[in-house]
Structure 1
Amino acid sequence: MSDRQDVGDDAGRAAALWRELTAWLAEHAPASAACLRPGAGEEALARVEARMGFALDAGLREVWAVNDGVADDDDSGAGLFLDRHALLPVATAADIHDDLCDSFSEEWGRLWLPLTTNEVNEPWMGSTIDCGSGRLGAWSMEDAPEEPGGMSFVDLLAAVVEAVKDGRGALMPSPGRSGTVPGLADGALVWQDPGEVLVANWAPLR
């Protein structure tokens, strides 16, 4: 009973954090908000679960029900608002899952699913989620996958929200150290290193 309660709590927290983030995008980064796809229906989510042979992470399932990832963004980077990564649509995640299972049959975990990508139009690498633990790893079309470890999907959402709203949290560099921070460029939420800005018209949030 307690395990089911924990799963429910994580799912509810993920949904709440996602809505908080997307509400912030709608107000402050409309170009990023415009990349969001409509939610995936129950039939589409159940179809992917049947195809995968396992249940989706409960928090991710709640998020996909609100927004089924991001649409192509004309290479503007507006969809890469999850710390330089974009949430994959559920069907695209399933397709990449099958490709990676074929390429890395010995290394690919049974409950792993691609979660994000660093290229919306041509996914090449990103993060995975272990749908049993909720923990994140990494995938690439070229390299063996990284074992899911520390941060969970809920942790990631919380860290992104904290970074954009308060300028604090796990994704922000330590004081006096370089690293990527969230900023705005032409109405998009874009993560850049202030010491090496590669996007025109970009300014950090703080």
Structure 2
Amino acid sequence: MQRRQFITRACGLVAAGAASFASPLASPLLAQEIDVEAILRDPAAPISGNPKGDVTIVAFLDYNCPFCKKAEPDLERAVKEDGRVRLVYKDWPILTEASVYGAQMALAAGFQGGYGKVHRALMAIPGRRIGEAQMLEAIRASGIDLARLDADLKTHAGDISALLRRNHAQAQSLGLQGTPAYLIGPFRTSALDYAGFKEAIAEARRRQAAE
């Protein structure tokens, strides 16, 4: 793995130790600052993989983040092949105004069951400063019902904004510095490749079994 980090046990998400996985955060987090249940099980957050999986991955992502895009195929492959991983998406648009637009469109697509379709379309656009026009072109090509998406974007604007605010507050409470950021069972990491995701999932499962 690369750029690996632990979250301290104080936050209630991970275990200490296992130096082979990561180095501790420079500043420990306080348990009362982090709503673990909200991070893991916000009912409005899109999920994929196995809803009843024994390991949960929480992915904080931005559609203008090149590292998110590079890691995305490996993450999806690892989750699909494992079959026992629950993947929670946290849209955290922090890089550009267009990032906010992309997140809003993906979340609005969720109301017609199309979050994953739009998410993959946006993640497949190469580059790091993708504008709204290019995003809309990719969304249109995904086959989503654009009229329905536009209507849901307007109808559910308040819910979408509230979810994005919650995601941002959760990222801040965790001390995240940027995207991508992944919580994999008891571990926190940034960009990984396929082998890295598999290793982290396996280690998370071993750690949970030992507790």
Give the number of the structure with larger relative contact order, counting CA–CA contacts within 8 Å between residues 6 or more apart: 2
Pair in the same fold by TM > 0.5: no
TM-score, scaled to structure 1: 0.24
TM-score, scaled to structure 2: 0.23
| Greater per-residue helix proportion | 2
